[in-house]
């Protein structure tokens, strides 16, 4: 319970904000790789372009979209999550309408830019920031629940899109997505979100701070984006997050081809996205618990170990437990990374400028997801197979994980572990 500015008692709104933000994060699905992948064959057939041209358009659109995310982050800090999400939701809906009308490679590239910037980038960013403001001591747990709930709901997006495509057409599927964004995201932002607990007389975690408690003397960081980016720990966290984004996207982008070469049917290969979701759900919750109790020096190497393990398991891919183990490990790496990154960033740098800091991190992450599939493909051509390529690329998370072991605990981390 909390006391409002008028002196009345009210329920803590943070958990409601978390639930609503999980829904808006899940609805970024049409702008995510798993949503776009449903349309790739239709683009090739109806627009008369090649698969490599679609991949190139996606790469260019994603990279250009990433450039605008730091500005989005600063805007969120300035105007608040409520107004920002209303504008972003409206823009995302328009982008989905626009991509429904693409006629060729040029307009497809513009369409990819629009949905990646507004959906995968901006809507994901503002959803995460909206949760971050409402929690402190329980932030890891809250963000673990947020990452888990949004992942479960987002896994339904490709199924829904496929159903609409089969019943009507791929262009109608984009338009239906736009209607859902207009009808869900904008009302959630307008009527459901509150920028900060202080706006309604509440406190993070729903607990009024005890001014006499010893822990109240621990200073809370309030770094600006420029200050955060001058600190080595920011770049270690960004490197870890980008490594997961780059290599998990690479594996997912080539998953059907990689698994069919390992003896699975195309249907069995597609079903392997389900164990990934299970791995992400379990890891999201577990690492949410760990993130409130452990330091970045421990958390980041564990995440990097999970990613390296999934890459090395590609050497033993075969129908049965081997491929399921690979899928669970890959999903766990993604779920753990999202929770750990979202928890450590505000812990280290505070929430005053969290939108701008998160926006710069999103620029790095989104760029990495564009580079990953190309890097994996080139490496495969050089070394002769998917498994060999993944094994070579496993060096990246191993190096990042070793680098993270050099981190000194932050002042807040030292207090919590004492």
Q: What is the DSSP string of 169-180?
A: -HHHHHHHHHHH
Distance CA 292, CA 287 (A): 9
Is 67 a residue whose pLDDT tops 80? yes
Report helix, strand or coil for 9: strand
Q: Please compute the mean of the pLDDT values over residues 304-323 and round it to a whole number.
A: 92
pLDDT tops 80 at residue 268: no
What gap in Å lies between CA 17 and CA 195, rounded to an integer?
10
pLDDT the model gives residue 154: 87
The pLDDT-based confidence of 221 (bands split at 50, 70, 90) is low
Q: What is the mean pLDDT of residues 235-257?
A: 88
Residue 214 lies in a domain: no
User: 415 in a domain, yes or no?
Assistant: no
Alpha carbon distance 224, 231 (integer Å): 11
Q: What is the mean pLDDT of residues 117-124?
A: 92
Angle formed at CA 390 by CA 388 and CA 394, multiple of 5 degrees: 115
pLDDT at residue 414, rounded to an integer? 52
Residue 61 near residue 111, CB atoms below 8 Å: yes
* Residue 138 shares a structural domain with residue 228: no
Higher-confidence position of 137 and 6? 137
| Number of residues in the chain | 418
The yes-or-no verdict on residue 2 having pLDDT over 50 is: no
The pLDDT of residue 410:
66
Distance, first Cα to last Cα, the chain? 28
Full-model pTM: 0.79
Q: Does residue 218 fall inside a structural domain?
A: no
210 found inside a domain: no
CA 137 to chain centre: 22
Please tell me whether residues 28 and 153 are part of one structural domain. Answer: yes
> Which is nearest to 400 in space by CA: 323, 340, 329?
340
CB–CB of 96/181 below 8 Å?
A: yes
Of all residues in the chain, the percent with pLDDT exceeding 70 is: 92
More confident residue, 136 or 104: 104
Domain assignment of residue 212, yes or no: no
Residue 170 near residue 99, CB atoms below 8 Å: no
Residue 193 shares a structural domain with residue 311: no
Which pLDDT score is estimated for 25?
Answer: 95
φ, ψ dihedrals at 9, nearest 5°: -90, 140
Among 145, 172, 204, residue at a domain's last position = 204
**Section 49-64 average pLDDT:** 85
CB hemisphere CA count around 257 (13 angstroms): 12
Q: 292 and 179 in one domain?
A: no
Confidence grade of residue 54 (pLDDT, cut at 50, 70, 90): confident
Asked, for residue 285, whether it belongs to a domain, the answer is yes
Using only C-alpha atoms, the chain has a radius of gyration, in whole angstroms, of: 21
Residue-level pLDDT at 6: 41
Average pLDDT, the chain: 86
Query: At residue 240, does pLDDT exceed 60?
Result: yes
227 φ, ψ (degrees, to nearest 5): -65, -40
The number of angstroms, rounded, from the C-alpha of 4 to the middle of its chain's C-alpha atoms is 33
Across the range 225-254, mean pLDDT stands at 90
374 three-state secondary structure: helix
Asked whether the predicted pLDDT for residue 217 surpasses 90, the reply is no
Out of 170, 204, 238, pick the residue that ends a domain: 204
* Residues 329-376 pLDDT 10s: 999 999 899 889 988 988 898 888 888 888 888 889 888 888 888 888
Do 63 and 147 lie in one domain? The reply is yes
In DSSP notation, 42-57 reads: HHHHHHT--HHHHHHH
**Residue 46 resides in a domain:** yes
pLDDT at 332: 93
What integer pLDDT is reported at residue 210 of this predicted model?
A: 64
List, in order, residues 6 or more apart from 39 with CB less than 8 Å away.
Answer: 161, 165, 170, 173, 174
Of 40-44, 100-104, 198-202, 308-312, where does mean pLDDT reach its minimum? 40-44
Same domain, 170 and 288: no
Share of the chain above pLDDT 90, in %: 44
Query: What stretches of 100-185 show up as alpha helix (H) in DSSP?
Result: 105-115, 124-132, 139-154, 157-167, 170-180
pLDDT at 412: 56
> DSSP label at 220?
P
Say if CB 259 and CB 272 are below 8 A apart. Answer: yes
Residues 142 and 66 in one domain: yes
CA separation for the pair 161, 257 (Å, rounded): 22
Nearest to 152 by CA among 300, 285, 320: 285
**pLDDT at 8 exceeding the cut of 70:** no
274 and 200 inside one domain: no
Task: Specify whether 156 is located in the same domain as 229.
Answer: no
Task: Determine the Cα–Cα distance for residues 297 and 413; give it in Å rounded to an integer.
Answer: 10
- pLDDT of 5 reads 42
Q: Tell me: do 298 and 189 sit in the same domain.
A: no
CATH code, domain carrying 287: 1.20.1250.20
The predicted pLDDT at position 4 comes to 44
Model pLDDT for residues 170-182, shown as the tens digit of each residue: 999 999 999 999 9
Pair 227, 32: CB distance under 8 Å: no
Does 219 have pLDDT greater than 60? no
Q: Is the pLDDT of residue 214 over 80?
A: no
Least-confidence region, from 19-23, 138-142, 166-170: 138-142
- Count how many domains the chain has: 2
- Of 19-23, 71-75, 215-219, the poorest mean pLDDT is in 215-219
Give the DSSP letter string of 324-358.
HHHHHHHHHHHHHHHHHHHHHHHHHH-STTHHHHH
Q: What is the pLDDT of residues 154-163, one digit of tens each?
A: 888 888 888 8
**Cβ–Cβ under 8 Å, residues 353 and 224:** yes
**Same domain, yes or no: 283 and 189:** no
Assign 212 a pLDDT band (cuts: 50, 70, 90). very low
The torsion of the CA quartet 273, 275, 277, 283, rounded to 10 degrees, works out to: -140
Domain boundary, last residue among 173, 204, 235? 204
Containing structural domain, residue 291: 223-406
366 and 230, same structural domain?
yes
- Given a cut of 60, whether residue 417 has pLDDT beyond it is no
The C-alpha angle 303, 355, 31, rounded to 5 degrees, equals: 70
Has residue 59 been placed in a domain?
Answer: yes
CA distance 309 to 329: 7
Q: What is the DSSP letter of 265?
A: -
| Coil, strand or helix at 196 | coil
DSSP strand pairing (2-3 vs 9-10)? antiparallel
Q: How far apart are CA 333 and CA 308, in angstroms?
A: 9
pLDDT at 246: 92
């Amino acid at each position: 319970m909390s006391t409002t500015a008028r002196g009345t008692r009210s329920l803590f709104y943070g958990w409601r904000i978390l639930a609503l933000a999980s829904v808006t994060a899940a609805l970024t699905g049409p702008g995510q790789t798993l949503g776009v992948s449903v349309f790739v064959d239709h683009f090739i057939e109806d627009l008369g372009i090649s698969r490599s041209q679609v991949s190139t358009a996606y790469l260019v659109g994603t990279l250009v979209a990433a450039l605008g995310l730091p500005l989005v982050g600063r805007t969120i800090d300035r105007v608040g999550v409520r107004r920002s999400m209303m504008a972003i939701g409206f823009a995302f809906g328009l982008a989905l309408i626009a991509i429904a009308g693409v006629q060729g490679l040029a307009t497809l590239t513009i369409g990819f830019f629009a949905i990646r910037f507004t959906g995968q980038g901006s809507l994901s960013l503002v959803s995460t920031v909206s949760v971050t403001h409402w929690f402190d001591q329980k932030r890891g747990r809250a963000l673990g629940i947020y990452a888990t709930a949004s992942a479960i709901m987002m896994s339904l997006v490709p199924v829904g899109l496929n159903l609409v495509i089969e019943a009507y057409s791929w262009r109608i599927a984009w338009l239906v997505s736009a209607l859902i964004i207009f009808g869900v995201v904008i009302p959630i932002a307008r009527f459901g979100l509150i920028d900060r607990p202080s706006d309604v007389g509440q406190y993070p975690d729903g607990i009024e701070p005890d001014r006499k408690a010893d822990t109240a003397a621990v200073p809370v960081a309030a770094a600006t984006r420029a200050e955060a980016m001058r600190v080595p720990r920011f770049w270690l966290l960004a490197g870890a997050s980008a490594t997961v984004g780059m290599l998990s996207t690479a594996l997912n982008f080539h998953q059907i081809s990689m698994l069919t070469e390992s003896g699975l049917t195309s249907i069995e290969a597609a079903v392997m996205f389900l164990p990934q979701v299970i791995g992400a759900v379990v890891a999201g919750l577990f690492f949410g618990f760990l993130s409130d109790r452990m330091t970045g020096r421990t958390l980041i190497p564990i995440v990097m170990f999970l990613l390296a393990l999934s890459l090395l398991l590609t050497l033993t891919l075969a129908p049965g437990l081997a491929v399921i183990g690979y899928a669970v490990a890959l999903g766990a790496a993604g779920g753990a990374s999202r929770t750990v990154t979202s928890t450590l960033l505000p812990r280290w740098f505070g929430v005053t400028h969290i939108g701008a800091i998160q926006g710069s991190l999103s620029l790095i992450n989104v760029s990495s997801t564009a580079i990953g599939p190309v890097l994996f493909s080139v490496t495969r051509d050089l070394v002769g197979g998917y498994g060999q390529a993944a094994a070579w690329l496993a060096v990246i998370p191993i190096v990042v994980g070793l680098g993270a072991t050099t981190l000194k605990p932050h002042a807040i981390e030292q207090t919590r572990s004492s």
